[in-house]
Structure 1
């Protein structure tokens, strides 16, 4: 196992720069997820770490070695792709051991490592099957097994669950996390799915337009997003964001919207009176109230069983509330939603930066 260090790494295609001087330090044994929308540079960064893309600037270290000029096959990494890339004419056993065979490992070593990986992944009964005889989830396990037998210093995952159905994705992300907890191998995982990132990562790297917006644990990013992009990207349903103007007097602070609605704040605010701001409150941090809070008109009600999603109109702004209790919400009905003031996020409208202390 080894640490991974990315220092001022850039990627250019001609005059177009798509990764802009990224710095990330990943300690030995950590599970880090690179997350962001399509085109943000996360897969390009992963491929530079893997040696599949040339680095235009900066340094990549695996352990103490600078690997910029080291071929991919000599970096002691193993990669699991979105495409399983299994050889159709080989059995599961042969697919898993093929990389060791190419390295001229002896038969006993190959057999021992394949046996260990198959036990970890529950593939013992499938070793003599061919890929066409496997389900999607079983094929993904074989792809992971092929990586495990190499006993690498670093695992790299490039959206490995994208081809699976929703139920199997949930199962497989649990299995990958359990696998990491067992092997303790440094792992870097790329996904555009923030739920995968939140549930699997020790730390998350949120990327956007080739830069890192924020690095932190899942709950750090959720509870204290550094800017509007992170706040809007992390969390499902998405955070409610309402534009307005910060108002302060000697006694209190609040946000006034263009529609004349006053949004309450606690005293933990560092903005200036008259500043254009964005008021953020997550759906689960709103509570139904008879007469206090934000006056809304109920629009769409979505019961999910464990909770109910309510989409409502706040004088032209659309907001969402999530409630575990079962209330009699009626489309078109009037109600109030009271925000938990210690859970309110405030952002500068011009820069997007967080204003909450």
Structure 2
């Protein structure tokens, strides 16, 4: 096992900078997830850790070693890709043992590691099968087993679940997390799926355009996003954003007034931002239907999507404003009904319209 230190690392392809002075400390045994939209640089950063891409500037250390100029095979890492990359003419056992055989490791040691990995991943009944005889989830477990038998200091995962269906992704998330608890090895995991990030990570690194927007535990990012981008990216459905201006009429309770004339209540601590253009943020699950709307107007139900345990409702306000709501209880509302709605003022966020940064409103 080993810690990873990424210190002011940059990567450019010609004149195009895709990673811009990124610094991320990763503790020994930590499960870190790099998450962000396509093109944010997360896979490029993972490839630089692995040695598959050169570092343009900065330093990467694995343990005490500076690895910038070490080839991948000398970094003591194991990588699991989105593409399982199994040899179709080899059995599961031969696929998992291939790298060890190429290094001429003792047969007894190969068998010991194979047995250990098979036991961890539940592959014992499958060891003599060929990849074409396996399901997608089984193939991904074989790819993970091939990494485990190497007993590396660091595991790197590059969107390993993208090719699986929804049910298998949930199952494999649990299996990878259980694998981490059992091995205690440092793991770096890349995904564009923020649900994967939140359910698996000890710590999440949110990236955009080659820079780190925020690092922290899942609920820290969810409850206290640093800016509008993180607030909108973490959470599903995404946070609702409403532009407007903070007012405190006659010194009363602060509100946000929108160009459409909607008035939304704010926490008392938002009074300090009176007169400033801000973006009001509220998560879909923090809006209740049926309450009175502070100020003028109400909303029209534009769509209703029952999912079983939840009901997703889209409200329309004026011509363009839309609010997503997630209701834990069944609703009697129907499409085109006019309804009141009431955000939970204790869970409202406020962002500076100019910078996008979150403004403190929690007293």
For normalisation by structure 2, the TM-score amounts to 0.96
Residue in 1 that maps onto 2:270: 269
Q: What SS does structure 2 have at the residue aligned with 1:328?
A: coil
1:164 is displaced (CA, Å) by 0.8
Residue in 2 that maps onto 1:325: 329
The count of corresponding residues between Structure 1 and Structure 2 is 357
Distance between the aligned counterparts of 2:271 and 2:55, measured in 1? 40
CA deviations over 1:187-226 (Å, ceiling 9, x no partner): 0000001111111111100000000000010100110110
Residue in 2 that maps onto 1:284: 285
Q: Contact between 2:301 and 2:339, CA under 8 Å: does it hold in 1?
A: yes
The residue correspondences of 1:1-357 to structure 2 (distance < 5 A) are 1-248=1-248, 250-269=251-270, 272-293=273-294, 295-315=298-318, 316-357=320-361
Distance between the aligned counterparts of 1:86 and 1:122, measured in 2? 18
Distance between the aligned counterparts of 1:61 and 1:270, measured in 2? 47
After TM superposition, the runs of 4+ consecutive aligned structure 1 residues lying more than 3 A away are none
Q: Contact between 2:291 and 2:342, CA under 8 Å: does it hold in 1?
A: no
Distance between the aligned counterparts of 1:86 and 1:253, measured in 2? 60
CA deviations over 1:7-55 (Å, ceiling 9, x no partner): 0000011111110000100101110100000000000000000000000
CA deviations over 1:283-334 (Å, ceiling 9, x no partner): 0001123434572111100011101010011223100111111120111111
CA deviations over 1:137-168 (Å, ceiling 9, x no partner): 11000000000001111000000011111111
Distance between the aligned counterparts of 2:291 and 2:127, measured in 1? 62
CA deviations over 1:214-258 (Å, ceiling 9, x no partner): 001010011011000001111111111011111135332111000
1:181 is displaced (CA, Å) by 1.0
CA deviations over 1:89-119 (Å, ceiling 9, x no partner): 1110011111111222100000000000000
Q: What SS does structure 1 have at the residue aligned with 2:182?
A: helix
Q: Contact between 1:287 and 1:338, CA under 8 Å: does it hold in 2?
A: yes
Distance between the aligned counterparts of 2:52 and 2:210, measured in 1? 18
For structure 1, the 5+ residue unaligned runs are none
Change beyond 3 A, Cα 1:97–1:270: farther
For structure 2, the 5+ residue unaligned runs are none
Q: Contact between 1:270 and 1:355, CA under 8 Å: does it hold in 2?
A: no
Distance between the aligned counterparts of 1:14 and 1:42, measured in 2? 19
Q: What SS does structure 1 have at the residue aligned with 2:55?
A: coil
RMSD: 1.2
1:274 is displaced (CA, Å) by 2.1
Q: What SS does structure 1 have at the residue aligned with 2:225?
A: coil
Distance between the aligned counterparts of 2:269 and 2:133, measured in 1? 59
